[in-house]
Amino acid sequence: MSAQPVVEMRGIGKSFNGVRALGDCRFELLPGEVHALMGENGAGKSTMMKLLAGIYPMDAGEILLAGQPVQLGSPRAAQQQGIAIIHQELNLMNHLSAAQNIFIGREPRSGFGLLVDEAALNRQAAQIFERMNLALDPRTPVGRLTVAKQQMVEIAKALSFESRVLIMDEPTAALNTTETAELFRIIRQLKAQGVGIVYISHKMDELQQIADRVTVMRDGQTIGTVPAAGTPMDTIITMMVGRRLADAPAAPPDTSRNPVVLQVQGLRRGKAVRDVSFTLRRGEILGFAGLMGAGRTEVARAVFGADAIEAGEIRVRGEPVKIRSPKDAVAHGIGYLSEDRKQFGLATGLDVETNVALASMRRFTGAGGLLDEAALRRAAQGYVARLSIKTPSVHQQVRLLSGGNQQKIVIAKWLLRDCDILFFDEPTRGIDIGAKSEIYKLLDELAAQGKAIVMISSELPEVLRMSHRILVMCEGRVTGELPAREATQEKIMQLATQR
Amino acid sequence: MDKPSPSLLFAPATRQKLLAFASLLALMVFFSAASPNFLQADNLVSILQATAVNGVLAIACTFVIVSAGIDLSVGTLMTFCAVMAGVFLTQWGLPLWAGVAAAIGFGALCGAVSGLLIAKLKVPPFIATLGMMMLLKGLSLVISGTKPIYFNDTPGFSAISQDSLIGELLPALPIPNAVLILFVVALAAAVALNKSLLGRYAFALGSNEEAVRLSGVNVDLWKVAVYSVSGGICGIAGLLIASRLNSAQPALGQGYELDAIAAVVIGGTSLSGGTGTILGTIIGAFIMSVLTNGLRIMSVAQEWQTVVTGVIIILAVYTDILRRRRA
């Protein structure tokens, strides 16, 4: 691999409103290389790549493409230089078809350049899909595709630019194992065609599978570049966090004799939930494992009353209860932390205090309907301290905090509401490694205090590390239950793919 | 996989339109049964005539709403265009074509101003067009000296709306030109919305503006274009109403924007953008005028007509929500 780098970034600096985001950073990408960019959230990976994609202007440094210095003033300029970026939050127009999305801004024309030549559009898109070995009708509205297919549409869009550099920001965050394999197949194909790929990810196990080299960033600086093969994960993690993580899983406590707090019997809802039964004990962390779409989220939403159930019995502390809405669930002490915090869990434009108290406002309402603001602030401050939420004050807007701290605020909200049965749906999605281990610690503490926890997670190491007992689902059914000490990744995968 | 490619007017969501169309038919059947006068040829022609202005305004609104914007100024812009036609034709004595060009041109210009306010100054569409609505209302009164401008010196002007080209060819069908213009505008708008670059970007902006921006498209330019086209169509509506009244009435116009938006919404276009069809909008406009006409024929008091219209709008949007939930 002595080829000339397709991208060289040197001495890169960037500040936002006087706050330094990047200082003297460098990065190099060879043609046909998959180069992983690692680092905690806020380390500067995304900013670095947004400079390369022309989304932000640089303050200092230079970018060389195939040895030539270039100015990338806009996304369009970067596209024309053959640089394409696929954002973590996919940027697609859901109402438009796949083909229309791919060629937005570059539609083939007819009728004196005024009309869009739809036939040519679909033909060209079909050709790209064919080159990718992808079975997809270019006329399908993107909103009807799975996340995995939507990502393929983004990749097809990048290919349509004849891109020589493809930046992918956490492409597998929302993909299941099969879909990830499909994505890797496409990535290898692009690699063989000489496309340089920047791969941003938090998933360490993917590096060994797909990456050639790894560059680690921390606090707005490039820490170093190492080959992916032969570098122990511990080394990379140490580079990322600047210290070693004490993350050795302790032997799970024996909770098998604790009282049952939640019993679900014969739960049904369409094809997503078929005859699901399980019990949850006090002080227990019950892991829900399975592929995406196995019905785990649907079970949680049904128990929480967010979706209507067709059949099934729910008992809370032995008493049969009817849960018709989240309000009923909360009244029985059940809390649900959704996988999509921004959409369902938080009012991100409001401050920490309001979000913590969102489910318990009534408690802080005094005579005459006025809020007791002093009590509200005290309660919020209490949880900020107890969960070590990093925020300048309880009046900070939640959207300005990191993903890990946002997650803690949702937890605080349910704790304040006295919920002792908690459903955590993908609690560490999009959270960096440092914050992850804090969330793990917090879940362990909550369980030790007697809370009963269901943790849904698509990351097997996480399920294995956290759970006292593991329930595996596949296609709406519970296909197996494993005590933590007998569970292995292989056993879980076997149960999760049972047809 | 191989569905037939959608025809012009029916793209892209046919089923949704069928519901609106069925409601329109149901209304007509109901009023026919309720009053023998409803199905008379004279009455049907007057329904068509009455739909023309609101229909054209609603088409203008469809472009803006599909792009996830809103335009509250279409009513007073229509009046402003009529007044400008009056200035060109009556006060300056210019030929008819100049008056027509003035109405459409000033419409597009005012639309462009709204578009620039929204795209460049980042004024929210609701506020920008609310301001334009009042501004244009005032300008119309100032320019006309608060008095109607009559078109008595331009004999061809009233023919724009009142004569019947179809009637000359087929004497049995004395459908006024206003209706013909409505359908021509609708057809052109359907092509523009479904087949042209402008329409494509209107849908794209309404669906995910950030994605369009990151695709390297000049988002500001296309926003201005969408509001300009909408404004130009309002100019056509101005010509229609002025021609029907043979005068530009400067105090008229406010309130028309809400009828137009209601027609768009009844026709199944979502106010959050990204979806919508011209056919739906036309059906929506007809539902509103059939309702007004039918209730009047049944001698329902004016104030109750308004109540019923309000209920229909809410019902229309609610059925649309139900349909989506099932899908």
Q: Name the amino acid, one letter, at B183.
A: F
State the smallest CA–CA distance between residue B192 and chain A in angstroms: 8
Last residue of a domain, one of A211, A241, A271: A241
Between positions 155 and 184 of A, the ones with CB within 8 A of B are 157
- DSSP letter at B173 equals -
Identify the pLDDT of residue A243.
55
Pairwise CB contact (< 8 Å): B217 & A105:
yes
A104 touches chain B (CB under 8 A): yes
Q: Is the residue at A253 inside a domain?
A: no
Q: Which amino acid is at A292?
A: M
* Averaged pLDDT, B150-179: 88
* pLDDT (0 to 100) of residue B3: 38
Up-side HSE of residue A30: CA atoms within 13 Å toward CB?
13
Q: Which residues of B28-58 are buried (b: 16+ CB within 10 A; e: fewer)?
A: beebeeebeebeeeebebebbbbbbbbbbbb
Question: Are B191 and A137 in contact (CB < 8 Å)?
Answer: no
Question: How many residues in chain B?
Answer: 327
Rounded to whole angstroms, how far apart are CA atoms B73 and B107? 11
User: What is the tens place of the pLDDT at every residue in A147-178?
Assistant: 889 999 999 998 888 889 999 988 887 788 88
Chain centre distance of CA A485: 27
* Whether ipTM exceeds 0.95: no
Do A280 and A361 share a domain, yes or no? Answer: yes
Nearest to A76 among B1, B196, B216 (CB): B216
Q: How far is the C-alpha of A250 from the C-alpha of A467, rounded, in Å?
A: 11
B interface with A, Cβ–Cβ < 8 A, is 1, 3, 5, 191, 195-197, 200, 203-204, 206-208, 210-217, 274-275
Residue A37 lies in a domain: yes
Query: In this complex, is the C-beta atom of A127 within 8 Å of any C-beta atom belonging to chain B?
Result: no
For the record, the structure tokens of A363 come out as 């408690």
The reply to whether A353 falls in a domain is yes
Both A232 and A373 in one domain: the answer is: no
Give the gap in angstroms from C-alpha B183 to the nearest C-alpha of chain A.
20
Q: A217 and A277 share a domain?
A: no
| Distance set, CA A250 to CA A222, A246, A253, A254, A488 (Å) | 34, 11, 9, 12, 16
Say yes or no: A292 and A223 in one domain.
Answer: no
**HSE toward the beta carbon, residue A134, CA cutoff 13 A:** 27
Assess whether pLDDT exceeds 50 at residue B222: yes
The pLDDT tens digits of the residues spanning A50-65 come to 999 998 888 899 999 9
Q: Is residue A129 part of a domain?
A: yes
CA distance A215 to A27: 8
Residues A411 and A468 in one domain: yes
Task: Please judge whether B196 and A96 are an interchain contact, meaning their C-beta atoms are less than 8 angstroms apart.
Answer: no
Q: Would you identify the CATH topology of the domain B14-322?
A: ABC transporter involved in vitamin B12 uptake, BtuC (1.10.3470)
pLDDT for the residue numbered A298: 92
Cβ contacts (< 8 Å) between B217 and chain A: which residues?
104-105
Establish if A45 belongs to a structural domain: yes
Which pair of tokens denotes residue A375? Answer: 């009590």
Specify the pLDDT at position A351.
87
Do residues A236 and A264 both lie within one domain? no
Distance from CA of B194 to the nearest CA of A (A): 9
Q: Is A105 helix (H, G, I), strand (E, B) or coil?
A: coil
**Phi, psi (rounded to 5 degrees) for B222:** -75, -30
Long-range contacts, stretch A185-194, CB < 8 angstroms, 24+ apart: A185/A133, A186/A132, A186/A134, A186/A152, A186/A155, A187/A34, A189/A132, A189/A133, A190/A155, A190/A159, A190/A166, A191/A32, A191/A33, A191/A34, A192/A32, A193/A32, A194/A31, A194/A32, A194/A164
Q: In angstroms, what separates the C-alpha of A115 from chain B's closest C-alpha? A: 4
Same-domain check for residues A416 and A455: yes
The Cα angle at residue A465 between residues A459 and A468, in degrees rounded to 5: 110
Q: What is the value of pTM for the model shown?
A: 0.73
What is the predicted pLDDT for the residue at A343? 59
A216 with A305, same domain: the answer is: no
CB atoms within 10 A of CB B153: 10
Contacts 24+ apart (CB under 8 A), A55-59: A55/A85, A55/B214, A56/A14, A58/A12, A58/A13, A58/A14, A59/A13, A59/A14, A59/A15
* Mean pLDDT, chain B, integer: 89
What residues of B are in contact with residue A95 (Cβ under 8 Å)?
203, 206-207, 274-275
Taking CB atoms and an 8 Å cutoff, what residues of chain B touch A157? 215
Residues A447 and A347 in one domain: yes
Share of chain B above pLDDT 90, in %: 63
Contacts of B191 in chain A (CB under 8 A): 115
Of A74, A100, A107, the CB nearest to B216: A74
What residues in A contact B197, CB-CB < 8 Å? Answer: 107, 109, 114-116
Residue A248 is predicted with a pLDDT of 47
Identify the helix (H) or strand (E) that includes residue A63.
Answer: strand A60-65
Whether A178 and A279 map to the same domain: the answer is no
- B216 CB neighbours in chain A (<8 A) are 74-76, 79, 105
Q: Please report, for chain B, the start and end positions of each structural domain, with discontinuous segments joined by +.
A: 14-322
Query: Where does a domain end: A188, A212, A241?
Result: A241
Domain contains A2: no
The pLDDT score that the predictor gives to residue A489 is: 78
* Same domain as A266, residue A194: no
Instruction: Decide: A83 and A52 in contact? Cβ < 8 Å.
Output: yes
DSSP 8-state symbol, A251: P
CB distance B289 to B47 below 8 Å: yes
Q: Which of B200, B208, B210 sits opposite A107 (nearest CB)?
A: B200
Tell me the shortest Cα–Cα distance from A142 to chain B, in angstroms. Answer: 11
Predicted confidence (pLDDT) per residue in B165-211, tens digit: 888 888 888 889 999 999 999 999 999 998 888 998 999 999 888 88
Contact between B214 and A87 using a beta-carbon 8 Å cutoff: yes
pLDDT at B7: 42
| Contact (Cβ atoms closer than 8 angstroms) between residue A84 and residue A166 | yes
Domain check: are A169 and A283 in the same one?
no
Count up the domains in chain A and report the number: 2
User: Per-residue pLDDT tens for B70-109?
Assistant: 999 999 999 999 999 999 999 999 999 999 999 999 999 9
* Closest of A264, A271, A430 to residue A339, by C-alpha: A430
Task: Please judge whether B212 and A93 are an interchain contact, meaning their C-beta atoms are less than 8 angstroms apart.
Answer: yes
pLDDT value of position A404: 81
Closest chain B residue to the Cα of A108, Cα to Cα: B197
By the CB < 8 Å criterion, does A109 face chain B? yes
Q: Do B204 and A104 touch (CB under 8 A)?
A: yes
Taking one residue from A and the other from B, the number of pairs with CB-CB distance under 8 angstroms is 68
Q: With H, G, I as helix, E, B as strand and everything else as coil, classify residue B243.
A: helix
Reference A47, options A217, A172, A166, A228; nearest CA is: A217
The three-point CA angle A72-A77-A82 to 5° equals 100
Q: How many CB atoms lie within 10 A of CB A145?
A: 18
DSSP 8-class letter at A31: T
Mutant choice from A115, A136, A154 vs B, greatest count of B C-beta within 10 A = A115
CATH number at residue A272: 3.40.50.300
CB–CB contact B204 A100 (8 Å): yes
Q: Could A93 and B197 be called an inter-chain contact, meaning their C-beta atoms sit closer than 8 Å?
A: no
Query: Which amino acid type is present at position B116?
Result: L
Average pLDDT over residues B300-327: 80
Residue A128: per-residue pLDDT: 92
Residue A44: domain span: 7-241
Q: Which of A104, A118, A137 sits opposite B1 (nearest CB)?
A: A137
Residue the block writes with tokens 């802080």? A364
pLDDT per residue of chain A (499 residues) written in tens, 0 to 9: 457 899 999 999 988 777 778 888 999 999 999 999 988 766 788 889 999 999 888 889 999 999 999 988 888 889 889 999 998 778 899 999 999 999 988 888 888 888 899 999 999 999 999 988 888 999 999 988 988 899 999 999 988 888 899 999 888 877 888 888 889 999 999 999 899 999 998 777 788 889 999 999 987 889 999 998 888 887 887 787 765 444 545 677 788 889 999 999 999 998 889 999 999 999 999 999 987 778 999 999 999 998 889 999 999 999 999 998 888 898 899 998 887 766 567 877 788 988 888 888 878 887 777 788 888 899 999 999 888 888 888 888 888 887 788 888 888 888 888 889 999 998 887 777 677 788 888 899 899 999 999 999 887 778 888 899 999 998 899 999 999 888 887 788 788 876 5
- Asked whether residue A346 is assigned to any structural domain, the reply reads yes
What percent of the residues of chain A are helix, what percent strand, and what percent coil, each to the nearest 5?
Answer: 35, 25, 40
Backbone angles phi, psi at A147, to 5 degrees: -55, -40
CA B204 from centroid of its chain's CA atoms:
21
